[in-house]
Amino acid sequence: MIDHSIPLISKRIRKARIATFLGFMMIGAMMYIWSTGVSVFREQLGLSGDLGDGDFGLIALGIGVGSAAGALLVGKLLDNYGAKPVIGFCVMVYPLSIIPLGYVSGFWFALAFGIVLGTFRGALDTALNAHGVQVERFYQRSIMSAFHASYSFGGFLLGMLCSWLTGFFTTSVQVPYTLLGLLMFAVGCLLSRWLLNKDDVPTQTAEIKAAPSAAPTGQQAPKTQTLLLMIAFGVLLLGSMMGENAIGDWGQEYVRRELSGSTSFSGMAVSIFVGAITFGRLFGDKLAVRFGNARVVCACGVLCVIGMLITLNAGNAILGTVGFALFGLGLSCIAPLMVSAAGRKDPQNAGRNIGIVNSIGFSGMLMGPAAITLIVSHFGLGSVMFLPLIMLGLLAVFGPMLMTKPKLAGMGLSYSDRRRHST
């Protein structure tokens, strides 16, 4: 079969694709540098054990507040100026923002720097997703799941490295956070040179964009419909984000304290969870084409429930890690399907739409830490995994119903299907 999009793929576009891969790797790396250093970070602040759970939960909440705010506020900048300047700034500042957390010794400073870290995470995540959709248009096929796989791959690699470093530095994350933050800064300097400008779009896309202008009177209803669709996507993403956040913030402590794993092994358990997400996302695009988005989301939710049940009933760290791995496989395809559909629905407002979806999704980082802190405070750390179990169970039941909406609107069609339909 001839791929008619091949003439569109210049060397510059391929570099932009590589830059997007590197950007997603950075986000995942930064996320799990933080997560696998949590136990040592708590030792550094004197927040270890049950007595420190409440204060640590507030710091995690601060990261969530920043992430949701950054994701929502950056949308307008993306639509006005394009993804390149936003990403160029964020990839410089975001890696450096984790370094101060290695030097803080007080709760309020940790909370403040946590909010800063979260803000740039949310902004960069939204900007890279918008850039990914822009690159995706040149390839005329879905590649968003592969981008998100690089997020998980970066988290797996740097999470394992940070876990290894915390085995040597057991009372402070000053060295791990400083070294790895500077490493990610260097990656940011490299990728920022290869990004696409705002006006870099395929000729076909430019022609398609001209069509709606012929009927300006019909724009009001689609805007409302699109907004409702973005909210639906965001709600789906919310459940998966809360689940991922629960493992990211509390997974290491859960394996260490409830399943008697060592600090280093507990960090690796979180990294294996991320590795499972990476593996699942390598096949996400093909699965969606073969079985449809709704079926993939349903299967992902069911797999998450099975993984969480195994972890909750595990008697040792190894079996608990197996549950983490299955949970990660289940989470793998949910976010890419949501974000790709949001960005392709209305290319001219991709930044705004992805910002809405990400902001709702990142609110899982707001409600998740607050809810989990409440659960841990009242019922103990052993109950921390019940929240992701419930959330992903609901996603498995109601997710496929919401996913039928984009398909009816044409979102379920592949690029090749829509091109054949348009001709």
From first to last of its 423 residues, the chain has per-residue pLDDT tens of 344 444 457 888 999 999 999 999 999 899 889 888 888 999 899 888 777 877 887 888 888 788 888 888 888 888 888 899 999 999 999 999 999 999 998 899 999 999 999 999 989 988 998 898 888 888 877 777 788 888 878 888 898 899 889 888 888 899 999 999 999 999 999 999 999 998 887 765 443 443 343 334 444 444 677 777 777 777 777 778 778 778 877 788 888 888 888 877 888 888 888 788 888 888 887 887 788 777 887 888 889 899 989 988 888 899 999 999 999 999 888 877 777 666 666 767 767 777 777 777 766 656 666 677 777 777 777 777 887 788 788 777 776 666 654 443 333 444 444 444 443
- Residue 97 has a pLDDT of 95
C-alpha distances out from residue 282 to 81, 156, 277, Å: 31, 14, 9
What is the distance between the alpha carbons of residues 14 and 87, in angstroms, rounded to a whole number?
17
Task: Give the span between the Cα atoms of 11 and 118, in whole angstroms.
Answer: 34
pLDDT of residue 167: 83
What is the predicted pLDDT for the residue at 364? 64
DSSP tag of 102: G
Which residues have a Cβ under 8 Å from the Cβ of 216 and sit 6 or more positions away? none
Kindly state the tokens that stand for 122.
Answer: 């949310």
> Taking every pair of C-alpha atoms in the chain, what is the biggest distance, in angstroms?
65
Q: What's the CATH number for 13-198+224-414? A: 1.20.1250.20
Which residue shows structure tokens 């990728």? 191
CB atoms near residue 141 (< 10 Å) = 14
CA-wise closest residue to 336 among 96, 202, 146: 146
- What pLDDT, on a 0 to 100 scale, did the predictor assign at position 50? 73
Q: Structure pTM?
A: 0.69
Helices (H), 50-106: 53-81, 83-96
Query: What's the rounded Cα separation, in Å, for the pair 28 and 171?
Result: 24
**Residue 306 φ/ψ, nearest 5 degrees:** -60, -45
> Which residue in this structure is represented by tokens 């759970």?
53
Q: Measure CA 23 to chain center.
A: 12
Describe the crossing of helices 364-379 and 386-408 by its angle, rounded to 10 degrees.
160
CA-nearest of 160, 198, 164 to 78 is: 198
Cα 184 to Cα 180: distance, rounded to the nearest angstrom? 6
**Residue 105 DSSP class:** -
* Distances from the Cα of 130 to the Cα of 208, 223, 314, 397, angstroms: 18, 19, 40, 29
Cβ density class 74-87: b for 16+ within 10 Å, e for less: bbebbbeebbbbbb
Spans of all domains in the chain: 13-198+224-414
Which pLDDT score, from 0 to 100, does residue 402 have? Answer: 61
d(CA 416, CA 394): 33
pLDDT at site 417:
44
Sign of CA dihedral 36, 42, 44, 49: negative
CA distance linking residue 236 with residue 219, whole number of Å: 26
In the chain the first and final C-alpha atoms are separated, in Å, by 17
- Is residue 68 a contact partner of residue 195, using CB atoms and an 8 Å limit? no
